[in-house]
Structure 1
Amino acid sequence: MGCTVARKRCISSDKISIIDTSPMQFKSKIIDNNQTSHLSDYASLSFLGVGAFGEVLSVRHIPTGTYRAQKIIKKSNFRYEDVISGVILKESLILSRLNHPNVIKFYEVLEDSYNYYIITELCEGGSLRERVNKFNQIPETMVIEIMKQILDALCYIHNKNLVHCDIKLENILLTSSSSNVIKIADFGCSQFIEPETNLNRLCGSLHYLAPEVIKNNYREKADIWSCGILALIMLTGALPYSGNNKEAIKEKIKSITTNELLEKMSQVSFEAQDFVRQMLETDPDKRITAENARKHPWLNTGV
C-alpha cells in the first residue's frame, strides 16, 4: 500500500481570520501553509470510541515517538459549503487558542480527499464516566481534587468569553488510570459570547442542560449548572432526574427546584451539599461563578 499524503492545515491563532463569531455561527478561514505532512507519520494503535462526528483512535507519532489521539471526521457527512469554509474545524480552531493544563492539548489537523484527521493529546485513563461506572460513588476527597481542576479550566475558558456548552462525565478525561489529573475535552458545542448578548442555540447533553439552555437564553453560567450536575452524579452515583422521553426530562429540568435536586445528597457532607447547591441555583443571575465556586470552602479545606 502506498502512503497517503495529506495537506496540513495551519491552525495557529495568528493565521486565523475570524469572519463571524456571533452566537449562531462560527465561520473561519484557515490559511494553508506550504508544509506537507504524511498520514503515514501516524501509526494507528487502538480504537478508542465513536464521537458525534467520527471515530477516535490512539496513534503513535513516529517522528517524535509520542502517543496521541486521532479523531477522523468524514467530509461526506457535511455539506460542501461547510467543508470549503472550514466550519467543520471549529473545535480545532478553538482548541488552538487555548493553553491550560486542564484543557486537552491540540497538535494539528491533517486532511485528504475524504477526511479530516484532528490530532490531540491522548488521555489514557479514560473518562470520568468510566470512573463513576467502576466505583459508583466517588469519595469526596477525589471529587474535590477533580472539581478544583475543572473549575480552574472553566475560569480560564470563561475569561476568554467562551462557553463550553457540553460539560459532562464523558468529556472529562483522565491522563492515566492511576491519576486524578483531568483534561476537559470536546469543544464541538462551544460558543463565543459577547457582552450583553445571550446564546440561544440548544446544544449539550440532556441531563446536564441548565434550565435557561432549554429556554434558549443563556450565558457562561450554563457551564456551572452542568458542573453541579456532574458533581452530584460523582457524589451519589445517580442521575438527578428521569423521564419516559426527552421532552419529559426537559420539562423536569425547567420545573425542578434546587432543594429537589439536593434530596439525593443526604449522605454527603454539608459543605459538599452547599457547594452543589450554589452551582444548581435555578436562577442564573444568582448562580455562583466559576471563580467564586473555585473559592468555595469545601474545595479549599477538604472534608
Structure 2
Amino acid sequence: MKYLHHKNILHCDLKIDNILVKDEDGEEIEISDFGCAIDLDLDHCNKFIGTQTHTAYEILKYRRNQSILTAASKASDVWSFAVTVWQILQKSYQLPSDFIKPEDIVKNYEAGKKLPIPATVAEDFWRYIILPCFDLHPKARPTMEDLHKSLISTF
C-alpha cells in the first residue's frame, strides 16, 4: 500500500478478500483486485466504492448525506487498512454486528465507539498505530509511509 500511494494510486477496496498470501510462512503477501482502484494523476472519485464495512467514515457519511462532498483518498485507504488489520489480528472475517450497516458504522464512530482491541494485541500497538487510522478527520490519519515506519520500528 505504501508503494501504491507513492505512485498516487488508491486501492479503494482493501480487505482480507483482496490480500493473497504468497508463501506457506505467510511472510509475503500481494494485494489484488484493482477493479475499484483510482490513479490520482488521471482520475478523481467522489462516488461510493469498495466494501461498506471497510469504507472510511467520511465516505459512508457522504453516502448518507448528499450535501457533503467527499472523495476517496489515501486516508480512506488507511481506514480500510485498519479494518483489515483488525480482522487479521482478531483472526476473524466477521466484524461485530454493530459495524456492518453503514448507518450503524457512522453512528458508532460519531459516538466515539471503535472496533474493540483484539485480545492478542498489545494495547500500545493498538493505541498508537491502529487507532489513529480511525480518526474521523482524514488529514489526521497516518499515511501509509507513517504506518510502514511504525510497523518496521515495532517489529
Class of the TM-score when normalised by the shorter of the 2 chains: 0.7 to 0.9
Alpha carbons 2:57, 2:109 under 8 Å: kept: no
Cα distance change, pair 240–286 in 1 and its aligned pair in 2 (3 A) = farther
**Is the counterpart of residue 260 in structure 1 residue 107 in structure 2?**
no
Q: TM-score, normalised by structure 2?
A: 0.79
SS at match of 2:24: coil
Alpha carbons 2:10, 2:74 under 8 Å: kept: yes
Query: In structure 1, how many angstroms separate the alpha carbons of the residues matched to 2:101 and 2:116?
Result: 18
Alpha carbons 2:90, 2:119 under 8 Å: kept: no
Aligned length: 144
Alignment partner of 1:293 out of 135, 147, 150: 147
Shift of 1:187: 0.3
Q: 1:169 aligns to what?
A: 16
**Is the counterpart of residue 178 in structure 1 residue 25 in structure 2?**
yes
- Deviations along 1:193-245, one digit per CA (max 9) or x if unpaired, are 259x96212111121111122215131111100010011111123444425xx
Larger RCO, structure (CA 8 Å, separation 6 or more): 2
Q: Which 5+ residue runs of structure 1 have no aligned equivalent?
A: 1-153
Query: In structure 2, how many angstroms separate the alpha carbons of the residues matched to 1:193 and 1:254?
Result: 26
| Aligned ranges 1:1-303 → 2 under 5 Å | 154-194=1-41, 199-214=45-60, 215=62, 217-218=70-71, 219-238=73-92, 239-242=94-97, 249-257=101-109, 260-265=113-118, 267-274=120-127, 275-296=129-150, 298-302=151-155
Query: In structure 2, how many angstroms separate the alpha carbons of the residues matched to 1:299 and 1:241?
Result: 29
Query: In structure 1, how many angstroms separate the alpha carbons of the residues matched to 2:88 and 2:143?
Result: 20
Alpha carbons 2:15, 2:81 under 8 Å: kept: yes
Q: Which 5+ residue runs of structure 2 have no aligned equivalent?
A: 64-69
SS at match of 1:273: helix
Alpha carbons 2:38, 2:44 under 8 Å: kept: no
Please tell me the residue identity of whatever aligns with 1:186. D
Please tell me the residue identity of whatever aligns with 2:90. T
Alpha carbons 1:166, 1:204 under 8 Å: kept: yes
Shift of 1:269: 0.2
Alpha carbons 1:222, 1:284 under 8 Å: kept: yes
More strand by share: 1
- Deviations along 1:47-78, one digit per CA (max 9) or x if unpaired, are xxxxxxxxxxxxxxxxxxxxxxxxxxxxxxxx
Shift of 1:263: 2.8
SS at match of 1:257: helix
Alpha carbons 1:189, 1:203 under 8 Å: kept: yes
